[in-house]
Each structure stands twice: as structure tokens, then as C-alpha cells.
């Protein structure tokens, strides 16, 4: 008989020849410029690793779950382990898109050298949609994207499963990922989903859990850390991080008018976006200047985006921020990059709902420039005007300083909200220059670049046409309670305006994977031992049947092509021998 290791080597070779891992670049928000005529929604995405080692020790509660989150090696993408059918994949987390998609074995581009969904394998939970002819396309504002076909599969995160979830299986992609991340788990609203707008009853993953009443409460929570694993919870919040739920500051999500030319006549929820009330440097407040003051009622809108590594804002605001910091200057008018002295002591705060959330220098500094080590690249970067009226994009540089909670809202009862739980004391003394420099050195944060030795002028841009129906924009005020499209009305509201009771939201804590025992013997000597819980081995993108040595495969339902035929011949030969 052909040795099993050789069979699996052939499997791996055939899989890699179809698709395999690349590098991850920062992702911008979804490119909404093509949405004006009601076309499919486009997405955005954006980046730790003892992930599989704790995948089987998550806390188990019927209607909620908590799973570990990891940061990719290039520090750009946060990801979590998810199950698609009986396969395991790392999926990038993204609050600025709503589709769940993964690369399939039909993808042959260099960016698809990843663990892929094997089209040659007959998953018992795979259901074709229109004989695999319903196409999906996601595109991003950084000119990357993916396309393929829509199918239905069982999707599992922790102990929560949505059977027959509509997903995208990419056959082409130029989206780059690190660390064998194979796709995106979009956590946004259905209106943002390309799949939802293409196929009937194709609600995104989190929306499905909320609309079906599958969660203790229609929320998810995110804990992000700089170097160690964070957490993603559904139906509850992480009790190991949030120790006092009464300190969570909730703000109502901003609805958006229909896309211009789409024929819609009412506002609805599109993005996890909030009104940004103010920005301050060392306590000096700066009032944001919205790009579309009439359409947004003179409110600056900020997208809360776990898929973005940094913080981005409009030139009219960012330039005024850095004018408050001595020796700050613009060094790249293409990317909107500013630098400031690395020994800065200034704090930076973003105000939501009247509450300041403060960033210390080590939160917003990117790192020293290699050619000018006394100057550090800094967030925020400045961007040209965006036609969707979202002036600010608040990513993980901010989200690491808070625990963030995303409440989906309840039909007829409660609007969607985002809650922030500050992880540090708002009155804490600013870091000293020595503390900042020491941190940057220990973090090996130096950026390979040489700065220009001349001053750059702040660029000016023309304002593009507004993406949404301007005549209805004034009705897009925070707090809109929708009658449909949110969580099922069987939920009792906990976060309504008059009686917000965040303390009633359930908490979960990650299960420990290491047990420490301290023993004292009869003579008084202390012995400390540690015990690590045994873990199930997980192979990304490989069906459990093959992982366990079973070799029965089929290509009939998925149309595996020549590779699947060759695979079948090889396996038949192996079994025959």
C-alpha cells in the first residue's frame, strides 16, 4: 500500500498548486463608490498565534461563546479560528465589511498560496447555490479584491454554529494575508454584504445569530492586544477584561441614507459608525470639520474598524492635530504621513458621546524613522475626502486601548450601539519621554525609511459627489429604531436610551490552558509545577476525515476539475495497493 505520508504529501502538493500564503497589507474601508445604482456591496478588511492551542478550551455556554484572537506577524490583521464545514480556517476579523469568504482550491494566483477550501472534497454540509453560478465580488479601496461563487456551508465559531450559512468561495483574489489566514469574517450589517444583496436569505453570520435569537443578547465583543492574544465573544462580553460593566460608554450607531440613484426612500444601518464629537491634544480640544456638513448635519462620522491597523482622518482635522505638537511635520503627502519627536509627552484623545478616550504616545506612535531615529511616524494619517461622508477610520491603534462591544439592535425596541470600556485610567499621568523611547526600543518599532529634508505643503482636494441620497441624509440621525433588519424583537432591550443596563449583559471568560500548582512538602520546601491542558491537533484547510487517515473523497458536487481527477486516481491506486 502506498504509505499514508506519501498520499498526504500528494494531497498537499495538489492543494498548493491550486492556491497558497502571502503578505498582508493594511486594508481601507469598503469601496462604496460603485454602490450608487444598487449594485452589490463591496467590503474592506484589515491583522497573534497560540490560536489553535486554545481552540478546544473555549468557555461553553449554549447561547454565547468566547474564542481567542491572534495578531498576524506583520501586526496588520487580527484573526480567529473558524470552522467551515468540517475544516478549520483562520479568518481575518473585519467590522467594516459583512461577508464571510475564503479562498478555494480553484484559486491559482500567488496570493492564494494558503489553506484553501478544497472543492474536490464532498462536504456533507455543502449546499450549492444555483449550481455554483451565483457570483460574488468584494472590492476594497486599496484596489484589492476577490471574486468567486456563493455557496452554503455550516459555519462555526467557538460553540456557535450557523447551518447553511451563505459564504463566498473565492476563485480569484489579490488580497494578501500573512500567517495562513484564508479569508475574511465580516461582522458588519447586512446592507453592506455583497452576498446578501445577491442571494435570497443570505444574512451574514453575526446578523443570522442575532435575527434567529441564537444569542443570549445580540452583541459581540472584541479585546485586542499589542503582542498577546485577545478575544472575540458572541452573545456576551469578556469578563476577564471588563471587570465593571457599569463603566461601559455606549453610543448609538449612525444610520445612512439610501445610495444615490438606488430608489430607496428610508435610512438604514450600513456601518459600525459613530459621531466623533471632538479630538484633543493634551486637553486642547479640536472640533472636527466634516467633509459634508450639510448632509451629516455638521457631524463628523467615524467608522470603527478592527480591520484597519491605524487611525485615519481628513486633512482638515489631521493638520490641526499635528499643529498642536512641537516639531510635527508632514513627510508624505501621498499617504498623509506625519512625524513628531519620539520623546513626545502629548496625549491624544477621541471623544465619543461626551467621554474622552485617551491614547498615550506609545498607543499612537508607529515607530522611529531609520534615517531619522529621533523622529517617529505617528497616527493619525491624513486621507483625501471620501464620498461616503465617513471622515474618520478608527482602527486597532485605538481599539487596543478599549474593550469594544457591538450591539446589533432589536427590531422596534433598540437601535444598534457601540460600547467602549476604557482599559486605563482617564486621569493617568502622561508617559515620560524615557518611557516612550524605552518602549519603542523594546518593540523594535523602527520603520525603514528616510524622511525628506524639506517641508511639504498640506495638499488640497476637490470634494467628490456624495454617495448617498442627499435629500434623505438629514433623516440619518443616530438612534433610529428600525422595524426590520435588526435582531428579533423577542429580545428584551437592555440598552435603550432611558434605562441602559449593561450590567445585565452576560460575561464569559476564556478557559485557562495552563494550571500552576504550588506544593509545600513536609520539610517546608515549596515546589511549583505547571500543567498544560492537552489540545486537539488542528490542520488548517484539511478535512478531518483526511487528518484522521480516512481517504474517501469525491469531487462530484464541487466540480474539482483535473486536479480532483488526478487526486482520485492517486487515492484509488493507494487503496488498491
Q: Residue 61 has what pLDDT?
A: 57
Question: Which region among 142-146, 163-167, 349-353, 418-422 has the lowest average model confidence (pLDDT)?
Answer: 142-146
pLDDT, mean of residues 324-345 = 96
H or E segment and range at residue 565: helix 561-576
Q: Residue 532 has what pLDDT?
A: 45
Question: Which region among 34-43, 200-209, 537-546 has the lowest average model confidence (pLDDT)?
Answer: 34-43
Q: Residue 556 has what pLDDT?
A: 32
Question: Which region among 55-69, 510-524, 555-569 has the lowest average model confidence (pLDDT)?
Answer: 555-569
pLDDT per residue over 99-143, tens digit each? 999 999 999 999 999 999 999 988 999 999 999 999 999 988 778
Which contacts (CB < 8 Å, 24+ apart) does range 436-439 have? 436/342, 436/343, 436/344, 436/345, 436/361, 436/362, 436/365, 437/342, 437/343, 439/362
pLDDT, mean of residues 353-380 = 95
User: What percent of the chain has pLDDT above 90?
Assistant: 64
Angle between helices 561-576 and 4-18 (to 10 degrees): 180
Secondary structure of residue 248 in the 3-state scheme: coil
Please give the grid coordinates belonging to residue 201. Answer: 436569505
pLDDT per residue over 511-533, tens digit each? 765 445 555 555 555 555 444 44
H or E segment and range at residue 414: none
**pLDDT value at 12 more than 50:** no
Task: Provide the CATH topology of domain 249-508.
Answer: Cathepsin D, subunit A; domain 1 (2.40.70)
Mean pLDDT of the chain: 82
**pLDDT value at 542 more than 60:** yes
Question: Which region among 140-149, 266-275, 517-526 has the lowest average model confidence (pLDDT)?
Answer: 517-526
Residue 571's φ and ψ, nearest 5 degrees, are: -70, -40
Q: Which of the pair, 42 or 300, is modelled with greater confidence?
A: 300
Q: What's the distance, Cα to Cα, between the start and end of the chain in Å? A: 4
Q: Residue 244 has what pLDDT?
A: 93
Q: Are 234 and 405 in contact (CB under 8 A)?
A: no
Per-residue pLDDT band for 553 (boundaries 50, 70, 90) equals very low
Q: Residue 575 has what pLDDT?
A: 32
Highest mean pLDDT, choosing among 14-18, 27-31, 538-542: 538-542
**DSSP assignment of 487-537, as one string?**
B-TTSPPSS-TT---GGGS-EE-PPPSEEEEEEE-TTS-EEEEEEEPP---
**pLDDT value at 552 more than 50:** no
Q: Residue 45 has what pLDDT?
A: 37
Please give the grid coordinates belonging to residue 55. Answer: 481552540
Per-residue pLDDT band for 437 (boundaries 50, 70, 90) equals confident
Q: Are 221 and 127 in contact (CB under 8 A)?
A: no
Looking at residue 380, what DSSP letter applies?
P
Q: Distances in Å between the alpha carbon of 168 and those of 29, 302, 363, 398?
A: 19, 28, 35, 30
pLDDT per residue over 497-508, tens digit each? 666 778 889 999
**pLDDT value at 547 more than 90:** no
**pLDDT value at 317 more than 80:** yes
List every span in the chain annotated with CATH 2.40.70.10: 4-233, 249-508
Looking at residue 246, what DSSP letter applies?
G
Question: Which region among 250-254, 299-303, 437-441 has the lowest average model confidence (pLDDT)?
Answer: 437-441
Secondary structure of residue 426 in the 3-state scheme: coil
Q: Can you list the alpha helix ranges (DSSP code H) found in 290-415?
A: 315-322, 361-364, 396-399
Q: Residue 443 has what pLDDT?
A: 83
Q: Are 412 and 320 in contact (CB under 8 A)?
A: no
Q: In angstroms, rounded to a whole number, what is the distance separating the alpha carbons of residues 374 and 379? A: 16
Q: Class of 4-233 per CATH?
A: mainly beta
**pLDDT value at 554 more than 60:** no
pLDDT per residue over 170-202, tens digit each? 999 999 999 999 999 999 999 999 999 999 999
Cα–Cα nearest to 172, from 112, 98, 99: 112
**pLDDT value at 550 more than 50:** no
Q: Residue 266 has what pLDDT?
A: 87
Q: Residue 564 has what pLDDT?
A: 38
Q: Residue 147 has what pLDDT?
A: 97
Q: Residue 475 has what pLDDT?
A: 73
pLDDT, mean of residues 51-70 = 64
pLDDT per residue over 465-487, tens digit each? 999 998 887 777 888 888 889 99
The dihedral sign for the CA sequence 490, 250, 140, 261? positive
Q: Residue 31 has what pLDDT?
A: 58
pLDDT, mean of residues 87-92 = 96
**pLDDT value at 209 more than 50:** yes
Amino acid at each position: 500500500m502506498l504509505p499514508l505520508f506519501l498520499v498526504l504529501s500528494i494531497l498537499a502538493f495538489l492543494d498548493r498548486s491550486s492556491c497558497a500564503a502571502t503578505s498582508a497589507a493594511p486594508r481601507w474601508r469598503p469601496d462604496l463608490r460603485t454602490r450608487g445604482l444598487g449594485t452589490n456591496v463591496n467590503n474592506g478588511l484589515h491583522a497573534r498565534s497560540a490560536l489553535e492551542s486554545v481552540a478546544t478550551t473555549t468557555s461553553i455556554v449554549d447561547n454565547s461563546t468566547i474564542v481567542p484572537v491572534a495578531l498576524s506577524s506583520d501586526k496588520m490583521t487580527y484573526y480567529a479560528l473558524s470552522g467551515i464545514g468540517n475544516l478549520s480556517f483562520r479568518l481575518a476579523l473585519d467590522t467594516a465589511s459583512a461577508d464571510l469568504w475564503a479562498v478555494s482550491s480553484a484559486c491559482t494566483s500567488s496570493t492564494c498560496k494558503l489553506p484553501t477550501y478544497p472543492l474536490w472534497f464532498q462536504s456533507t454540509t455543502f449546499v450549492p447555490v444555483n449550481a455554483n453560478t451565483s457570483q460574488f465580488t468584494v472590492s476594497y479601496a486599496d484596489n484589492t479584491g476577490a471574486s468567486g461563487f456563493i455557496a452554503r456551508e455550516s459555519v462555526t465559531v467557538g460553540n456557535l454554529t450557523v447551518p447553511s450559512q451563505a459564504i463566498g468561495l473565492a476563485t480569484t483574489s489579490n488580497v494578501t494575508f500573512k500567517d495562513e489566514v484564508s479569508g475574511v469574517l465580516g461582522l458588519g450589517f447586512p446592507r453592506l454584504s455583497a452576498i446578501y444583496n445577491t442571494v435570497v436569505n443570505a444574512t451574514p453570520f453575526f446578523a443570522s445569530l442575532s435575527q434567529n435569537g441564537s444569542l443570549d443578547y445580540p452583541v459581540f465583543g472584541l479585546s485586542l492586544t499589542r503582542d498577546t492574544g485577545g478575544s472575540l465573544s458572541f452573545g456576551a462580553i469578556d469578563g476577564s477584561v471588563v471587570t465593571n460593566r457599569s463603566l461601559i460608554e455606549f453610543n448609538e450607531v449612525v444610520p445612512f441614507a439610501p445610495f444615490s440613484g438606488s430608489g430607496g426612500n428610508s435610512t438604514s444601518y450600513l456601518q459600525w459608525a459613530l459621531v466623533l464629537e471632538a479630538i484633543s491634544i493634551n486637553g486642547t480640544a479640536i472640533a472636527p470639520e466634516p467633509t459634508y456638513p450639510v448632509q451629516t448635519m455638521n457631524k463628523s462620522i467615524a467608522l470603527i474598524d478592527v480591520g484597519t491597523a491605524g487611525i485615519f482622518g481628513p486633512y482638515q482635522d489631521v493638520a490641526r492635530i499635528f499643529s498642536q505638537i512641537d516639531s510635527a511635520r508632514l513627510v508624505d503627502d501621498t499617504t498623509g504621513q506625519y512625524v513628531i519627536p519620539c520623546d513626545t509627552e502629548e496625549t491624544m484623545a477621541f471623544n465619543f458621546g461626551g467621554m474622552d478616550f485617551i491614547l498615550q504616545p506609545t498607543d499612537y506612535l508607529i515607530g522611529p524613522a531609520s534615517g531619522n531615529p529621533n523622529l517617529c511616524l505617528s497616527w493619525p494619517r491624513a486621507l483625501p475626502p471620501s464620498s461616503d461622508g465617513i471622515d474618520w477610520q478608527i482602527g486597532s491603534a485605538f481599539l487596543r486601548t478599549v474593550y469594544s462591544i457591538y450591539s446589533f439592535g432589536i427590531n422596534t425596541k433598540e437601535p444598534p450601539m457601540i460600547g467602549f470600556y476604557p482599559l486605563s485610567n482617564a486621569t493617568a499621568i502622561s508617559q515620560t519621554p524615557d518611557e516612550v523611547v524605552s518602549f519603542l526600543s523594546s518593540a523594535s518599532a523602527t520603520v525603514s525609511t528616510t524622511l525628506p529634508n524639506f517641508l511639504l505643503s498640506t495638499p488640497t482636494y476637490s470634494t467628490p459627489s456624495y454617495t448617498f441620497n442627499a435629500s434623505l441624509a438629514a433623516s440619518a440621525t443616530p438612534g433610529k429604531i428600525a422595524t426590520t433588519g435588526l435582531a428579533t424583537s423577542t429580545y428584551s432591550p437592555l440598552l435603550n436610551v432611558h434605562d441602559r443596563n449593561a450590567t445585565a449583559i452576560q460575561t464569559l471568560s476564556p478557559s485557562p490552558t495552563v494550571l500552576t500548582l504550588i506544593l509545600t512538602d513536609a520539610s517546608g520546601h515549596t515546589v511549583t509545577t505547571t500543567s498544560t491542558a492537552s489540545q486537539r491537533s488542528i490542520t488548517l484547510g484539511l478535512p478531518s476525515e483526511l487528518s484522521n487517515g480516512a481517504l474517501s473523497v469525491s469531487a462530484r458536487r464541487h466540480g474539482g476539475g483535473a486536479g480532483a481527477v488526478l487526486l482520485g486516481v492517486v487515492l484509488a491506486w493507494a487503496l488498491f495497493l
